[in-house]
Structure 1
Amino acid sequence: MEKEKVNTLLLVSTLVATVTFAAAFTLPAGYNSSGTDSGIVTMLRDKGFHIFVFCDSIAMYSSIIATVALIWAQLGDFTLLLDALNLAVSFLGVALFMMSMTFTAGLFLTVSKLRWLSTAVLVMGITFLAMLSVILIPLCTPITPSNRIYRYISYYPFYLVALATGN
């Protein structure tokens, strides 16, 4: 059972690394094609682009750490497997969250000239990220404490999201 978890998480972390790697080279708005800035990103000075780059970088590095930890988990030692799983799940959660932020920032940048659409993209992105946080935070904490307040905070929002989606 644990090996199946490791293999599934390894696949997901590798896919996240692949997507974030590709996003780093297919930047929003492209590159300058002529002049002294040839080959430089057109939105280099835009703060939204800075957010895009930071989030994409964090997602890439987090997914690489998760991937390496999961490769270590396959060595056969059960204690190492559990430690690697705890580490990998936390970093994969960060990678998924940052990848979602990267998507929101990139889409916001590409539609930024149309105010209503960029606002709609931002509102949808923030709403999704809030829902994702509710789901990921309990998953990324390796041990659920016996504190009742924490259990309510971590369980019921997840339950409400599951009910809302019909699962």
Structure 2
Amino acid sequence: MENYKEKVNTLLLVCTLVATVTFAASYTVPGGYNSSDTDLGIATMLRDKGFHMFVFCDSIAMYSSVIAAVALIWAQLGDLTLVIIALKLAMPLFGVALSMMSMAFIAGLFLTVNKLPWLGIAVLEMGITFLAMLLVILIPLCIPYTPSNGIYRYISYYVIYLVILATGN
């Protein structure tokens, strides 16, 4: 039970941090706000598709992390069954929150540099590459059940092993 309590507390802290960051990002939008009389307080990039992507990803990250945090708060009641159910719910939501927060970052950064085409493309390529690496690491951690099929374990083992070799640890 003590092992689960430590996992719940660590995950709750990180989910709360993700919720805090995404909340702050929703009020400090890329491009800022209009200060003209007709559009006072409206986001300057409101009609840009990249801004729409930023808003959707930031919103999904915020809601996913809040739901995961609430589930983990319930897990602190001490019932082992509740702890296990909360962790099975929170881990995939936490994976979604991290992925969406990364995508919101990519969209926001792209919006700020897209007037220089080569830099915008470089930002997108780097972001997609690192998002793919994040997903390779997160998917095995967020899947609640490991199938008895040995192929899945074989593939996930070597994918994570390659990531460890690539980082040099």
TM-score > 0.5 by shorter chain:
yes
| Aligned equivalent of 2:33 | 31
Alignment-derived partner of residue 55 in structure 2: 53
User: Separation in 2 of the partners of 1:140 and 1:91?
Assistant: 8
Query: Aligned partners of 2:73, 2:168: CA distance in 1, in Å?
Result: 35
- Summarize the alignment of residues 1-167 of structure 1 with structure 2, pairs less than 5 Å apart: 1-167=3-169
Superposition RMSD in Å: 0.8
Q: What amino acid is the match of 1:80? A: L
How far the C-alpha of 1:143 sits from its partner, in A, is: 1.2
Letter in 1 for 2:88: N
Superposed CA deviations along residues 29-55 of structure 1, whole A, max 9, x for unmatched, are 101111311110010000000000000
Amino acid at match of 2:58: D
Letter in 2 for 1:163: L
SS at match of 1:51: helix
Q: Which amino acid aligns with 1:28?
A: P
Please list every run of 5 or more consecutive structure 2 residues that lacks an aligned counterpart in the other structure.
none
Gapped regions of structure 1 (runs ≥ 5): none
Could you tell me how far 1:154 is from its partner in structure 2?
1.9
Deviates more, 1:156-165 or 1:5-14: 156-165
Deviations 1:83-126 (A, max 9, x none): 00111111001000000001000000000101011100000000
Matched AA of 1:83:
I
Matches of 1:110 and 1:155 in 2, distance apart? 38
Q: Structure 2 length normalisation: TM-score? A: 0.97
Per-residue deviation at 1:166?
Answer: 1.6
Give the percent of matched residue pairs that are identical in Structure 1 and Structure 2: 78
Letter in 2 for 1:155: Y
Paired residue total? 167
Distance 1:70 1:166 in 2: 33
The amino acid across from 2:56 in the alignment is: F
